[in-house]
Structure 1
Amino acid sequence: MDRFSSWAMNEYAKMMVRKRIVKITHFTINALALINKYTSSQILH
């Protein structure tokens, strides 16, 4: 039984890490898009 609970905990930890990575990735993509939009609008003016 200990092996199973350890395995389940490892899977849970992996899932939580993946979720955080996805959130960080989305945040980074959005930030870069805003920066690109800002810099391209500054170049045109």
Structure 2
Amino acid sequence: MFYVSVNGESVWVIVATSQYGNMYLKTESGGEQPNNLLSLPECS
């Protein structure tokens, strides 16, 4: 299990499946668009 901290709140990272059968990562509170992951700073 993995989680990220977004704006001081920890949220779980899950594997979701799109309507076309493609798997992708998102956060539980991310809704359809995984904006929580996109808002994280870039790793180097």
TM-score (norm 2): 0.20
Q: Which gives a bigger RCO, structure 1 or 2 (Cα 8 Å, sep 6+)?
A: 2
Larger Rg: 1
More helix by percentage: 1
Query: TM-score by structure 1 length?
Result: 0.20
